[in-house]
Structure 1
Amino acid sequence: MLAKTFGSAVQGVDARTITVEVNVGQGAKFWMSGLPDGAVKESEHRVESSVKTFGYYMPRQKTVVNLAPADLRKEGSAYDLPIALCVLKASGQIVTEKLEQYMVMGELALDGTLRPIKGVLPIAIQARKEGFKGIMLPKDNAREAAIVNSIDVLPVSTLEEAIDFFEDRVQITPLVVDTREIFNAELNNYNADFKDVQGQENIKRAMEIAAAGGHNVIMIGPPGAGKTMLAKRISSILPPLSLHEALETTKIHSVAGRLGRDASLMTTRPFRSPHHTISDVALVGGGGNPQPGEISLAHNGVLFLDELPEFKRTVLEVMRQPMEERRVTISRAKISLDYPANFMLVASMNPCPCGYYNHPEKECVCGPGIVQRYLSKISGPLLDRIDLHVEVVPVGFDEMTARRKAESSSEIRERVIKAREIQSKRFEKQTDVYSNAMMHSNMVKEVCEINEAGRTLLKTAMERLGLSARAYDRILKVSRTIADLAGAENIKTEHLAEAIQYRSLDREGWAG
């Protein structure tokens, strides 16, 4: 007898429908086809133990399980539940006509309870797209899937509950989640706030500019100057996620299994801070079973690299292409996957190995050439993609203990949102440009026009400060953002002057 239901396989950040077929007939042994990996093959033992728990049996006849399309590799333990239901129907132990109307996914424990799986959100989106009546999932995954409307999400805790539903012994109430209510209730719920930072007004200003234009930023300063503290607060001044961005971000974290139990929609911009011992594959994504890396988990948010020179050179260099293209392509012999990677890079570093080069009070003990060698760990092409270079100096005791009220993140965010609205109107006809930092070279000439006085200032700065040629476009982009924050239609001389000071590492002789 033949039984059939449907599951799903996640590829990249999208899902593909899988047909689960089971035929029980004359013969012996259990066979599985359709390129299953080890975890899928082991489902035979989990299914057998689970069905026995509830008084059913594993047929001792020839049982063939096929996962179609057969040329697509199936991975993970999420096919346990559909296989179990199909085995019971094919062997005549349950009678139902509803299996083919639903997409069914879930991992079985040996006692028949269901464990959560990864990638539920793209699976639910695919189920709605394919026109299924509903999707049956472990209870812990239901809230995540219920973000997708117009499809019944059936949460179950055990195999027995699933059997009872398909045999019409019980009714399972579909879980309904008000996506917009969740989105609006938890929007911008950040723990860190700029009002906690005393002093460092020039750094806050640089952070505001970076957030307003989506610019990458690097902070250079001695230990304890507040670089990490400032970086952790930049997410709180970025514009709120749109509902589309929230769904897109949630989908990536769902595929990576980072949402946790009973999670639903991500409503705040992600902040990822990997340790400097990270590998290049962990950063950009990939692996034997391709997974999104840290730069994709930071999509629509911030990637913070603390102590940048301590990262391996190869790790930093693999970021160059994703920073330009805003996506990562993982290529294998039989498949090519795209992961989105539209992130804002925030990096910090000490100016030298001892950390006290250019310190106002402490003396640097590094020998001749060591400072330059330390900075050269960061390649020119990578620095070329970082718009703002900010020197951070320690906060004095008087400033640190002052009772003056600092500006809150919400106040700064209001100005950032206004600047982003100006950019949205400017780039409304563009499909791949949403902020000033994303402008192509040909757009810079059109959008960032400067007058004769500004041209003279920029020329003088490049000659006297020894700025590199690669700094030219970056200065214009940053000055355009400064003008947007000021509500100015054109870039003025003072906007250019402020942008020029944010190119510290381009100055010849900066490190001796």
Structure 2
Amino acid sequence: MTLAKTRSVGLVGVDGYVVDVEAAITSGVPGLHLVGLPDTALNESRDRVRAAIFNSGEEWPNRHVTISLFPASVPKRGSTFDIAIATAILAAAGAIPPRSCAGLVLIGELGLDGRLRAIPGVLPAVLAAANAGCRTVVVPHPNTAEARLVPDIEVIPAASLRSLLSLLRGDPPPPEDEQEPPPAEAPARPPDRRDTLDLADVRGQAEARRALEISAAGGHHLFYSGPPGCGKTMLAERLPTLMPPLAPEAALEVTAIHSVAGTLPPGQPLITRPPFQAPHHTSTRASMVGGGSGRVLQPGAVTLAHRGILFMDEAPEFDRGTLEALRQPLEEGEVRISRAERATSFPARFTLVLAANPCPCAAAKQIDCSCAPAVRRRYLERISGPLLDRIDLKLDLSPATRAELRYDLEVAEPSRVVADRVLLARERAVKRLAETPWRANSEIPGPELRRHFLPSAEAMRTADDALQNGTLSVRGLDRVLRVAWTLADLAERDTPTADDVGGALALWTCRKT
């Protein structure tokens, strides 16, 4: 019996784990047998690998070949094991030295012609390999830039199985096949509409613009209610222009999520801007929080918006179950999905922005509304009280007056000016929270907030009265305290004052503008 071993990486959600790929060639009925709970796509790799080996000019061992994927008790899925399986088989057959591939981590899908094809999820796979102590990975050539985002690991790009075998044998690279088409270049990215947005485009709504600044500075959830045309969507779409670029660690985390989901922008291996997700109101619960069937669990919109913004326009039009599914990620910053075959967690720490019309008819003026009071009440009650309780800032907007529009032509601030204030406020919060695992006011848990970050008794008097008379819940008190700290950071104060707490309370109880 001849035996060879190499490694690959499997993914569960956005987390990876190293898989030992062992090949044994024994006497018996010729064929290839996979063990280790492979799924359908992985079982089909037998035909892909066989054709790729033949078309790379190598001999297929005409004996019984067993491929073991360890740990054997963990289900494996996908085509990312193709190159590792092919290399292990050829090493066991003596076509390459077995020691040459023993320390490598091989990730990639094989085409029938032997070329390596780009795959999703390379970044979390390489991160998992690095965390497991591996130091060299082989990836398809189109995934090279993404894999090299991981520090302290050697990345070997491979265009084909033939070129990889030449490298392992110590031979010069094979000449390019003239009949082989060159790898397709990444399509040019269309202009990003977000690059042209600016807060100065919004006329009027000074209070709403101020709430947007507070949301960006502290990562607070926001709810706009008002008639059509008052600027709810315009304001929400400009929130990303106020937020600073992602920190390096957060950028890697966000990029890994979009790599797994296959939504990484072409030609952009690293996402440095906070993501912005705006799902349609017909979105299902699974598309919102993530899910799938069997072994395939995909992240949803709340995970794709991790470290960014989730904007839900026409919020009452969403299915009630879809809205209620947001309650856990809003509190815990992650989504846990359980299925019969496996369970996984997806990160989901995002800023939620809701927008809603006051009634189903969406009349521009209240005098033109044809809805009965009971209809208006039932419409807004589609957003439940427990969900609204988790929203930090609530504003009831009115259409801008002619005087406001004229005044704002001269004094409306552009996004870059507001973004500078937001950045300074965030830096103050990071400095204050330096000895803690949190980096924004919205991330501080309630018990820690009340234990270590409680303002003075005089400053808390307004909130205490609201808590006493029942207009403020305990969860709402935590939200008010977080916003009060953000108001203090924006005003460059070391601790919230009574005005900060009172302003935060007014925003939590839905201020009318």
TM-score tier by shorter-chain length is 0.7 to 0.9
Matched ranges for 1:90-489 at <5 A: 90-95=92-97, 97-170=99-172, 190-287=195-292, 288=294, 289-333=296-340, 335-356=342-363, 362-396=367-401, 403-404=409-410, 406-432=412-438, 434-436=440-442, 438-441=444-447, 443-444=449-450, 447-450=453-456, 452=458, 455=461, 459=465, 467-469=471-473, 471-489=476-494
Query: Counterparts of 2:415 and 2:344 in 1: how far apart (Å)?
Result: 37
Q: Give the partner amino acid of 1:215.
A: H
Matched residue type, 1:54: S
Partners in 2 of 1:441 and 1:219 — Cα distance?
28
Change (3 A) 1:210 1:293: same
Relative distance call for 1:460 and 1:5 in structure 2 (3 A) is closer
- Aligned counterparts of 1:60 and 1:251: Cα–Cα separation in 2: 40
Distance in 2 (alpha carbons) for counterparts of 1:292 and 1:389: 28
Given the alignment, which residue of 38, 60, 66 partners 2:62? 60
3-state SS of the aligned residue for 1:291?
Answer: coil
Letter in 1 for 2:4: A
> 2:44 is matched by which residue type in structure 1?
E
**Cα deviation per residue 1:407-443 (whole Å; 9 max; x = unaligned)?**
1222112211222222223333333563146341562
Amino acid at match of 1:39: A
Q: Distance in 1 between matches of 2:264 and 2:462?
A: 52
Say if 1:453 and 1:57 are closer, same or farther in 2 by CA, change over 3 A.
closer
Unaligned runs of 5+ in 2: 175-193
**Any idea what SS the aligned residue of 1:286 has?**
coil
Cα drift, residue 165 of structure 1 = 1.2
Q: Which amino acid aligns with 1:37?
A: D
1:169-224, Cα deviation, whole Å (9 max, x unpaired): 1369xxxxxxxxxxxxxxxx954321332332221101011111221001111222
Quick one: distance in 2 between partners of 1:389 and 1:257?
Answer: 34
Show CA shifts across 1:324-378 (max 9, x none): 111222234564422221111111111110123xx65752111230010001111
What's the CA shift for 1:406?
3.0
Q: Look up the match of 1:14.
A: 15
One-letter amino acid of the structure 2 residue matched with residue 302 of structure 1: I
Residues 8 and 15 in structure 1, CA contact (< 8 A), matched pair in contact too: yes
Structure 1 residue runs without a partner (length 5+) = 173-188
Query: How many aligned residue pairs are there?
Result: 488
Amino acid at match of 2:358: P
Deviation at 1:44, TM superposition (A): 1.1
Tell me the TM-score normalized by structure 2.
Answer: 0.87
Q: How has the CA–CA distance of structure 1 residues 198 and 170 changed in structure 2, closer, same or farther, with 3 Å as cutoff?
A: farther
Shift of residue 456, structure 1, vs aligned partner: 5.2
Cα pair 1:141 1:262 within 8 Å, conserved = no
Q: Secondary structure at the match of 2:8?
A: strand
Q: Contact (CA 8 Å) 1:467, 1:506: kept in 2 or not?
A: no
- Percent sequence identity over matched residues? 39
- Letter matched to residue 352 of structure 2: L
Cα distance in 1 between the residues matched to 2:486 and 2:290: 31
Residue 147 of structure 1, CA deviation: 0.7
Q: Take 2:119 and 2:460, find their aligned partners in 1: how far apart are those partners?
A: 57
The alignment partner of 1:480 has SS state of helix
SS in 2 for 1:309: helix
Aligned residues: CA RMSD: 2.8
How far apart, in 2, do the equivalents of 1:447 and 1:501 lie? 20
TM superposition score normalised by structure 1: 0.87
Q: Give every structure 1 segment of 4 or more consecutive aligned residues whose post-TM-superposition deviation is greater than 6 Å.
A: 460-463
Q: 1:52–1:364: structure 2 CA closer, same or farther, 3 Å change rule?
A: same
8 Å contact from structure 2 (residues 462, 498) kept in 1:
no
Residue aligned with 1:166, SS: helix
Say if 2:463 and 2:505, in contact at 8 Å, map to a contact too.
Answer: no
